[in-house]
Structure 1
Amino acid sequence: MDTILPLRKRLKWQLGTFAAAAASMPVLLLPTPAAVALGGATGSLAYRLLGKVRRNTVANIRNSLPALRAMEGWDPAAGTPEELARSTFANLGKSVVEMIKLYFGQGRWLVERTELRGLEHYLKAKERGKGVIFITGHCDNWELVAHAFGTHAEGMAVVARRQKFEPLTLLLERLRNRHGNSIIYADGAARQIFFRLRKNGAIGLLMDQAVPSHEGELVEFLGRKAWTTTMPALLAAKTGAALVPGFGHREGNRHVVEFFPEIVPDPSGDPVATTRLLNRAIEQYIARHPDQWLWVYNRWKRVPKG
């Protein structure tokens, strides 16, 4: 039985890979605007068909509304949890299509139309010569954000986890190792991160993932405790690197990557207090663009009740 289960999982991944390859064909044949529109329609259809994922997504939004409503930038007309969830699915569908275009070398139109705003905040932080740690999350199309930064500014190294299915890891490597960008895998990442920061380079960290308890702390996120990495806070304290928030969002048929002023670590030196400040930056961006975040993901998993 122990040998059958891994075989089933491998077969499932292989069938999924074949289905994804087949689904990519119409995307590659269509002009980019039409393909992205098709992706949005497919995402909206998935909202109707994937009942369990839909219900979990709506629940995540509903449970976070009290915190969002208290934040600056929240629009009371943003929509109901169901409407926001539907928009989230549509955004994911568009993002998948865009990543297919990027992977197969058809993403130039997307990258060239992406605007970088607030880049002066990054340049100012870089003047200190200690390196820059980008604080970001799964907003908009986070893969396109990295491509646009590498194209219009300079490359960065993104800290990521290896996928359970090795071919998927290799696929993402091919997608991410472009435009001067590179990947640093979380397992054994410290040496590479320190080396890049010493060279005054840029590191990208997606902070809105639930990490194992031995890799972080329970820190409030959208009104509830969530397992959160303290790596950025610890790195900044040890190296003096700047903590600069940067996120993407859609404006019509183009993307905008927006950078904000450097976040100064908490004066107490407490990494949890600094991490709380970093979480706050992500929360505020979600409040301004609530349909652009990855609500389908359970950010609050493994948190003990009470």
Structure 2
Amino acid sequence: MAKPAKNLKPVLFRHRLEYAALLAVAPLIRALPRQAALRFGRRLGSLSRWFLAARRKLAEDNVHQAFPDWSPQQITALVKRNFEQLGMSAVDSLRLDLFAVDTPEEYFEIRGVEHLREAQDLGRGVILLTGHLGFWEAGNYVFPALGVPLDTIAKPLKNRLTDAYFQRIRTHFGADIISSRKGARQILKSLQSGRAIGLLLDQHISPPGSVPVDFFGRKAYVTTAITNMAMKYRIPIVPTFCLRRPDNRYDVWIDPPLLLEGDGEAALAENTQYLTNIIEQAIRRDPGQWFWLHKRWRKINITK
């Protein structure tokens, strides 16, 4: 008698409703010309400020904490633009598999490809460091277009129907998705096979397995798993980010590869802070395009 398949829990009714709504709206967005779809996304993002009042207040508090000298008017304007940008990025995420595979220059201006090639030439795989900035889903298109085999680390959505829908879009150009729940073994296996690993290092990870770092003047927990792996196996880390331009094309920049030095807990914490600083510097180029709506800063308990 065959064993029952794992992870096949009944789909919640509300998840079915959410998925039905996605299937109703997505084809309309995908049928529109891209610029018209982005205008729709911008308006939808702006309207969502009022439907997501708790998230709006969280974003306003986060921006105030990060930029204490800003006026209330400046904070309100940035948060409004933030919602608009997120709405536009959501639209491009729904349409990513419609991007023309042979003409990345239609959507992206990419600088620093030579840095990526330098890291690849080391033969140890590549860790692509980024954050929830601009159009962070772009890597699933950009790097396969550059001929770079890519695995992206992502946390599965709670709604497995919606998760499967976006998985199909994310993997359309050849990128694979590694669940963040599978741990370091799968990541290391991919790196050892010469693949690049895309990682967003600006999410809260509770200890153990994380350290507190300074991020926009406040303490926040960051995972040490990737830092530790890069130090132990001398894997190059290549920072790369993607920001939207006024014409709705994207600027993608790839920085020179980093080889982290040192060993031990102190070096681990120092290097994790260093990587966090890189992300903060990228966000400061255009703060309106970072994901201020999430609970990045949690309660920190530090014992001496």
Is this a same-fold pair by TM over 0.5? Answer: yes
Spell out the pairing of 1:184-203 with structure 2 (5 A cutoff). 184-203=178-197
Which amino acid letter does the alignment assign opposite residue 100 of structure 2? Answer: R
Task: Please state if 1:99 is matched with 2:79.
Answer: no
* Offset at residue 221 of structure 1 (A): 1.4
- Residue 183 of structure 1 aligns to a residue whose secondary structure is strand
* Offset at residue 302 of structure 1 (A): 4.2
Change (3 A) 1:126 1:251: same
1:265 is aligned to: 260
Inter-partner Cα distance in structure 1 for 2:86 and 2:159:
21
The count of aligned residue pairs is 289
- Residue 238 of structure 2 aligns to a residue whose secondary structure is strand
Q: Is the 8 A contact 1:266 1:273 kept in 2?
A: no
Task: Please state if 1:255 is matched with 2:250.
Answer: yes
Inter-partner Cα distance in structure 2 for 1:29 and 1:178:
18
- 2:62 pairs with one of 60, 63, 69: 60
Give CA-to-partner distance per residue, 1:43-74, whole Å, 9 cap, x none: 112124432211111111110115xx8xxxxx
**Comparing 172-181 with 229-238, which one deviates more in the overlay?**
172-181
Which amino acid letter does the alignment assign opposite residue 159 of structure 2? Answer: F
* Offset at residue 90 of structure 1 (A): 0.4
2:3 is aligned to: none
Inter-partner Cα distance in structure 1 for 2:245 and 2:65:
27
Change (3 A) 1:191 1:51: closer
Inter-partner Cα distance in structure 1 for 2:78 and 2:127:
30
1:41 is aligned to: 43
* Offset at residue 125 of structure 1 (A): 1.7
Inter-partner Cα distance in structure 1 for 2:14 and 2:298:
25
Spell out the pairing of 1:43-192 with structure 2 (5 A cutoff). 43-66=45-68, 80-102=74-96, 105-108=97-100, 111=104, 112-192=106-186
Find runs of 4+ consecutive structure 1 residues off by over 3 angstroms: 109-112, 266-269, 302-306
TM-score (norm 2): 0.87
* Offset at residue 169 of structure 1 (A): 2.7
* Offset at residue 305 of structure 1 (A): 9.6
* Alignment RMSD (CA, Å): 2.5
* Offset at residue 172 of structure 1 (A): 2.8
Which amino acid letter does the alignment assign opposite residue 255 of structure 2? Answer: F
Give CA-to-partner distance per residue, 1:268-291, whole Å, 9 cap, x none: 552111100000000000111111
Give CA-to-partner distance per residue, 1:232-264, whole Å, 9 cap, x none: 211111211001111110112201221112234
Which amino acid letter does the alignment assign opposite residue 64 of structure 2? Answer: R
Inter-partner Cα distance in structure 1 for 2:29 and 2:172:
21
Inter-partner Cα distance in structure 1 for 2:290 and 2:39:
19
* Offset at residue 266 of structure 1 (A): 4.5
Q: Is the 8 A contact 1:145 1:257 kept in 2?
A: no
Inter-partner Cα distance in structure 2 for 1:197 and 1:143:
20
Which amino acid letter does the alignment assign opposite residue 167 of structure 2? Answer: E
- 1:28 pairs with one of 23, 30, 54: 30
Give CA-to-partner distance per residue, 1:127-146, whole Å, 9 cap, x none: 22122111111111211232
Inter-partner Cα distance in structure 2 for 1:21 and 1:302:
38
